[in-house]
């Protein structure tokens, strides 16, 4: 296939086109410092006496290492690095790199080369390949050197001509260096202008678009050839709205007058979508101060505006949420006197003071706390923070109207070790209820201590959950032995079965428990108790709790036994006495007749009882 022949589908064969380039060319991967060779034209292979299979896939300086007589690597590497960094094209000064002769045993052949390096970028301006083109300039270089030798001989014969020639050479070198620096600077400035990540445009004094960088075309979708040369305010970016066009025209006129204009406004893409931009329009002046051009720059802030709108909406939601939280939300210094950096609107309902009293006016939170609460609260906070826990404290404040109120504050540490934030809520009603409950419990406990018996309560399943202090005093037990096991262990072994069976029957049936058994006292002696318990039920009849009392009846039983014994002895005495003894109630009915009735009248004593 010839160089410009087409493929079967009628398109150019670009691979064959590259291979047949007349200029010796290499395609390199930008993988510094290796610079892998990806392709080589046939002209390059012929010129360098190389084979493609010996080059492709290997590094440039692996194939052509620098030599002492021809410092290739440093010059070429620097040139490739400049192209890699953004230069469009970079040329390497003529250098020597000797090649093996056709007969290798005869050594190296002196060769001189001119090299040009350039970048190949994709549509997104990302570097894809480095193009390296070389030219063999051995013959003109050697010819120049021969001419130089002849000129040197003539100059040595004429010193005045030699000095003039030396000055001319020096001037030429300086001029060349200046030209190279200027070209490099222009290339750098052009690259910066073209690839800058902001919109940039240069306007003439008539307001026409002289040039613009790539971004407004690549991003917005407009074509450079259609926009460059138009009046700025007629360009596609803002032609969709008359007010925007008017702003651009007005900004241009102000820039011509020497002003710098900055504003945020809308602009459009080629697809008709609307966006936001932060634009600057300013004059560019010459050394004498006259205006040469008008420079327009811009940055797309659509996402920033959307984010700003979301932030504003989020802040509004946050304020609404904070305002609805019961109590006060705050951010404060973590150490006394607890200066407030922020207080929510709930502060006034909680304390009577507006939030500004603490934030703007600078009053410390400790000013409204009761003085006796400050030290213990400070200690609690210190301990909780040292342990790495969230703070939770309860204390009292004096409100603006002079009333006292219990407050609970819960807060967590921020990233700053000196600040924390949280919420303070009114717990006055709860706290007063807790104090009343504690007083009620203390009253109940004291009352039960004074009762001369054991007060017991039990759960619906019959397990004891409270035994009054009388049991401890009676049994000589420790507080930790107050529970069910301590009481059951003190029951006389002969009475345990009866006591437990009766209790299980009552728990299972809900019937009243009324059992008498003996309990061991602190001296190891057993005393008799009468234990009575009844259950409390809910509206549906379900047992909620058992309540009982164990009364020490040991002395009562002893008294009853003594009375019974006394009555027995009196009856025996009267029965042994001669004659008949009897007694009657006030109504005349006989309630006692001695055994003498049998001997005296032949009547059994029981027959006349009640007559």
- Across 291-295, 395-399, 582-586, least confident range: 582-586
Q: What is the mean pLDDT of residues 318-324?
A: 61
> What pLDDT digit, counting tens, does each position of 512-565 carry?
999 999 988 888 899 999 999 999 999 999 999 999 988 888 888 888 888 787
The bridge status of strand 328-333 relative to strand 419-426 is antiparallel
> What pLDDT digit, counting tens, does each position of 82-122 carry?
888 776 678 888 878 888 877 766 678 888 888 888 888 87
Q: Are 421 and 333 in contact (CB under 8 A)?
A: no
Residue 232 pLDDT: 87
**37 pLDDT exceeds 90?**
yes
d(C-alpha 195, C-alpha 280), whole Å: 18
Helix (H) or strand (E) holding 412: strand 404-413
Residue 367 pLDDT: 92
CB contact set of 321 (below 8 Å; sequence gap of 6+): none
- As a three-state string, the secondary structure of 273-315 is CEEEEEEEEEEEECCCCCEEEEEEEEEECHHHHHHHHHHHHHH
Distinct helix (H) and strand (E) counts, the chain: 21, 24
> What pLDDT digit, counting tens, does each position of 478-501 carry?
655 555 566 778 889 999 999 999
What is the Cα gyration radius of the chain? 56
Nearest to 115 by CA among 62, 76, 68: 76
**213 pLDDT exceeds 60?**
yes
Residue 2 pLDDT: 39
Residue 4 pLDDT: 44
- The two tokens of residue 213 are 């960088």
- Across 69-73, 269-273, 549-553, least confident range: 69-73
How many Cα atoms occupy the beta-carbon half-sphere of 364 within 13 Å?
12
Higher-confidence residue of 448 and 32: namely: 32
Helix (H) or strand (E) holding 246: helix 242-256
Higher-confidence residue of 183 and 604: namely: 604
d(C-alpha 56, C-alpha 48), whole Å: 14
Residue 106 is classified by DSSP as: G
Q: Are 217 and 200 in contact (CB under 8 A)?
A: no
CB contact set of 471 (below 8 Å; sequence gap of 6+): 454, 477, 482, 486, 487, 550
Nearest to 131 by CA among 38, 204, 26: 26
Question: Where on the phi/psi map is residue 530: left (φ > 0), alpha (ψ -120 to 50), or beta?
Answer: beta
Higher-confidence residue of 262 and 180: namely: 262
Which range of 153-167, 375-389, 592-606 scores highest in mean pLDDT? It is: 375-389
CB contact set of 211 (below 8 Å; sequence gap of 6+): 193, 201, 202, 228
Residue 417 pLDDT: 72
Q: In what order do the strands lie in the sheet with 127-136?
A: 37-40, 25-28, 127-136, 112-121, 89-96
């Amino acid at each position: 296939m010839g160089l410009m022949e087409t493929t079967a589908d009628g398109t150019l064969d670009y691979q064959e086109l590259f291979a047949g380039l007349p200029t010796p060319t290499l395609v390199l991967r930008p993988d510094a410092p290796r610079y892998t060779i990806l392709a080589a034209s046939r002209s390059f292979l012929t010129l360098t006496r190389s084979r493609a299979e010996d080059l492709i896939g290997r590094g440039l300086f692996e194939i052509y290492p620098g030599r002492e007589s021809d410092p290739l690597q440093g010059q070429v590497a620097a040139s490739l690095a400049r192209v890699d960094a953004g230069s469009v094209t970079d040329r390497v000064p003529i250098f020597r790199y000797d090649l093996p002769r056709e007969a290798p045993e005869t050594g190296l052949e002196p060769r001189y080369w001119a090299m040009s390096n350039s970048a190949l970028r994709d549509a997104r301006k990302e570097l894809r390949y480095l193009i390296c083109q070389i030219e063999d300039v051995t013959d003109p270089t050697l010819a120049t050197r021969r001419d130089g030798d002849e000129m040197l001989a003539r100059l040595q014969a004429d010193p005045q001509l030699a000095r003039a020639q030396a000055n001319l050479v020096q001037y030429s070198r300086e001029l060349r260096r200046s030209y190279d620096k200027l070209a490099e600077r222009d290339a750098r400035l052009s690259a910066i202008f073209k690839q800058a990540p902001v919109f940039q445009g240069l306007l003439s004094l008539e307001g026409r678009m002289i040039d613009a960088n790539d971004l407004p075309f690549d991003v917005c979708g407009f074509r450079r050839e259609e926009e460059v040369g138009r009046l700025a305010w007629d360009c596609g970016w803002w032609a969709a709205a008359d007010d925007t066009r008017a702003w651009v025209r007005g900004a241009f006129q102000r820039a011509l007058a020497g002003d710098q204009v900055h504003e945020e406004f809308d602009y459009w893409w080629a697809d008709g979508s609307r966006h936001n931009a932060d634009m600057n329009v300013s004059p560019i002046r010459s050394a004498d101060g006259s205006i040469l051009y008008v420079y327009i720059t811009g940055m797309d802030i659509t996402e920033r505006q959307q984010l700003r709108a979301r932030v504003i909406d989020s802040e509004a939601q946050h304020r609404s949420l904070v305002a609805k939280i019961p109590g006060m939300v705050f951010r404060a210094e973590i150490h006394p006197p607890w200066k407030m950096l922020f207080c929510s609107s709930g502060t006034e309902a909680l304390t009577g003071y507006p939030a500004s009293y603490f934030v703007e006016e600078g009053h410390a939170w400790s000013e409204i706390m009761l003085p006796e609460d400050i030290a213990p609260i400070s200690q609690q906070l210190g301990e909780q923070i040292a342990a790495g826990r969230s703070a939770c404290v309860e204390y009292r404040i004096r409100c603006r109207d002079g009333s006292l109120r219990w407050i609970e504050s819960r807060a967590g540490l921020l990233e700053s070790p000196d600040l924390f934030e949280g919420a303070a809520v009114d717990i006055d009603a709860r706290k007063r209820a807790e104090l009343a409950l504690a007083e009620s419990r203390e009253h109940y406990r004291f009352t039960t201590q004074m009762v001369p018996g054991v007060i017991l309560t039990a759960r619906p399943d019959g397990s004891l959950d409270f035994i009054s202090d009388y049991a401890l005093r009676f049994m000589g037990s420790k507080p930790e032995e107050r529970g069910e096991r301590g009481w059951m262990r003190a029951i006389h072994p002969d009475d345990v079965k009866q006591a437990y069976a009766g209790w299980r029957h009552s728990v299972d049936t809900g019937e009243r428990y009324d059992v008498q058994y003996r309990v061991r006292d602190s001296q190891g002696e057993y005393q008799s108790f009468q234990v009575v318990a009844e259950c409390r039920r809910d509206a549906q009849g379900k047992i909620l709790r058992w309540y009982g009392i164990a009364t020490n009846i040991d002395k009562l039983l002893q008294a009853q036994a003594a009375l019974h014994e006394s009555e027995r002895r009196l009856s025996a005495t009267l029965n042994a006495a001669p004659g008949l003894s009897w007694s009657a109630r006030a109504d005349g009915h006989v309630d006692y007749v001695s055994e003498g009735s049998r001997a005296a009248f032949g009547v059994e004593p029981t027959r006349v009882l009640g007559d």
